[in-house]
Structure 1
Amino acid sequence: MKTLTLPVSSVTNLFCKKVKQTFSVTLAFLLLVSATASASPISNLYIFGDSLSDPGALSYISPTNCPPAPYFDCRFSNGPVWVELLADDLGLSATSAFAGGTNYAIGGQRSDQVLDGQIPLFMNNTGGMADADGLYVIWAGGNDFLQNNPLGTYSPMNAVNNIIDSILNLSALGAVDFLIPNLPLADPWALAFNSALASGLNGLGNGLNITQLDMFSTFLDITLNPSDYALSNVSQPCISGGVVCTNPDDYLLWDAVHPTAVGHEIIAATALAALNVSEPAVLAIFAIGLAGLVRVRRKTLA
């Protein structure tokens, strides 16, 4: 099993702080090429999780529960979510499964709902077969944390077990490659979750390629060094009490629990840097979306 936790410094390099945009594009491309080897190309993204990865599922299954404007197109942010940006960079799609795509994430769902609802729906849609060349993304646990109570109904260990069982169920169908982020929270619940998740993933058998995406370290670095990411506010939400901040691109958080579009771009860039994609895929990114790496900062720095 391959387990990779991306150093934060590698992500920071992608943002090419304080340099001209053209040089940023070139350097990001060279960094990406240097990280690639003989990895197989990714055929599709198959995504499971909650609002952090939801590309608007509620607009198809429960439109009245979509977050209202200024939230973007039934997403829990002011723009596309990270898996949509990652898919775009890879020349793939992250369209909701409820619109015929391969993204099964639904805002508000816990890890048990991923295991007992999203995974079975995937199995039904695919006839019980998993694409061996696909990348399977599972980001869950946030709503277990938010919905937990003094009785400990949704414990960190239960959430981790649900994610591990989801991986095992998918691998039994033929899935091989997984991308598993942890939680970017410093709460004791989340810290216990992250520790147990790392241990659980490391304990899985050979034959699985698992990339552990360390969102905790990434968000900690953003918080400690916001200027490295051209952000000015990393502690307050952009939208509060229905009032929207003047410059959302300067904020890490859109609301109390969800990143801004720029925050999602940072997550997408982190994930892209962590993945070993094949050279043809890298060339495709250069041809159709290298500027997408620069969208991480929508400003041209003087």
Structure 2
Amino acid sequence: MQRQIITTGFLLLSLIFPLKVLAKDYDNIYVFGDSFSDSGNVLNATNGVIPPSPTYYNGRFSNGPIWVDYLASDLGLTLNLKNNFAFGGATTGTENIGLPSLPGLQQEINSFVSAQTADPNALYIIWAGTNDYLSYFFGGVPNPTNTVGNLSAALTSLVADGARDIMVVNLPDLGKLPFANFDSQRSNLFNTFSSTHNSSLNTTLKSLRQQLDPDINIIELNVNSLFDRIIAAPDEFGFTNVTNSCISKDLSVVPIDVPTQQVLCNPEKFVFWDEVHPTTKTHKLIGELAFSALNLASVPEPSAALGILAYSVLGAVSLLKRKIPN
């Protein structure tokens, strides 16, 4: 009964705010970042060596399509590699912890803005930062302030080039990823990195929204919250393992230098494909979250009457939920 009432409430809200209809019609999608979003750049740069097939799918650092593939499909677009500038191993600066010859985020952005003027009707995505903190294993000294500053610089460069709709993705709790969660000290360290990063990023994006032209649409994607929900209640998402990776690799080597191996696990039940990267099933959830965020970002300011109606619906649902025992 309780679930029925809550479902009815959200159905009413969906009638008030029909999100699917309100999604903006983008001309294209451009991607900047690291291996979470790389759809084949490292594979091409290494002549098909990294990430190795068949352990990894078509140049993705996963066992199937990644979140930007799913998002592009939901938007009715095709994600062309020529529009995906993300490289596995990229930091938010100019370094790449995988292969020094490959770019960091700043080179990715510079490569784009130096070659063209941004299409104001396209969607731009920035997701980076994980490798800034993984550099700790290679003698780096992670600094969330510098990392978020680099993300801010990347965003403002795109805006200056003509971009109008920019999605910026925060970080999952890195302390809960398989490379860290087996050791409490390591987990706590990377939890601190993640929380400090996300807090600073949120503050920075709020400031940029005030500073930039009102027409600039900054969409903050909260994957941290999604991962926390999945790990707290894996059954709701069809997972049985949220701590281990489906495959394993030697973290004493460069993170993207993953040895091939036979896969004996069921990836449909795992959140993580390797010690850092999600399975394609998890990527699909991220893509769905991103699509929902874009829909919400495209919803115009509701009238006062609609606002009161929406508030009333949620209030009624909340009241009934309290009255009905679990």
User: What band does the TM-score fall into relative to the shorter chain?
Assistant: 0.7 to 0.9
Aligned to 1:67: 51
1:266-294 Cα shifts (integer Å, max 9, x gaps): 10011011112879xxxxxxxxxxxxxxx
Determine if contact 1:49/1:104 at 8 Å carries over to the other structure. Answer: yes
| CA drift at 1:120 | 1.1
Aligned to 1:45: 29
Q: Which has the higher contact order (CA 8 A, sep 6+)?
A: 1
| CA drift at 1:45 | 0.7
Aligned to 2:271: 252
Task: Pick one of 192, 195, 214 that aligns with 2:196.
Answer: 192
Tell me the SS of whatever aligns to 1:148. Answer: helix
Matches within 5 A, 1:194-213: 194-204=198-208, 205-206=211-212, 207=214, 208-213=216-221
Tell me the SS of whatever aligns to 1:112. Answer: coil
Aligned to 1:136: 124
Aligned to 1:219: 227
Determine if contact 1:49/1:138 at 8 Å carries over to the other structure. Answer: yes
Mapped to 2, the partners of 1:235 and 1:151 lie a distance apart of 26
Mapped to 1, the partners of 2:281 and 2:15 lie a distance apart of 21
- Whether 2:261 is the aligned partner of 1:261: answer no
Q: Quick one: structure 1 residues 139 and 31, their matched pair in 2 at CA, closer, same or farther if it must change by over 3 Å?
A: farther
Tell me the SS of whatever aligns to 2:32. Answer: strand
Q: Which moved more, 1:63-72 or 1:187-196?
A: 63-72
- Whether 2:66 is the aligned partner of 1:81: answer yes
Aligned to 1:234: 242
Higher Rg: 2
* CA root-mean-square deviation: 2.5
| CA drift at 1:62 | 1.9
1:135-167 Cα shifts (integer Å, max 9, x gaps): 110000010010136976331111100000001
Mapped to 1, the partners of 2:239 and 2:271 lie a distance apart of 7
Structure 2 residue runs of 5 or longer lacking an equivalent are 1-5, 95-103, 176-190, 250-260, 300-326
Give the residue type in structure 2 aligned to 1:266: L
Q: Quick one: structure 1 residues 46 and 150, their matched pair in 2 at CA, closer, same or farther if it must change by over 3 Å?
A: closer
Give the residue type in structure 1 aligned to 2:84: N
Mapped to 2, the partners of 1:147 and 1:32 lie a distance apart of 47
Aligned to 1:93: 78
Q: Quick one: structure 1 residues 150 and 248, their matched pair in 2 at CA, closer, same or farther if it must change by over 3 Å?
A: closer
Q: TM-score, normalised by structure 1?
A: 0.75
1:112-151 Cα shifts (integer Å, max 9, x gaps): 134431011112331xx11111111000001001013697
Structure 1 residue runs of 5 or longer lacking an equivalent are 1-12, 17-26, 280-302
Give the residue type in structure 2 aligned to 1:168: T
1:187-207 Cα shifts (integer Å, max 9, x gaps): 111111111100111100242
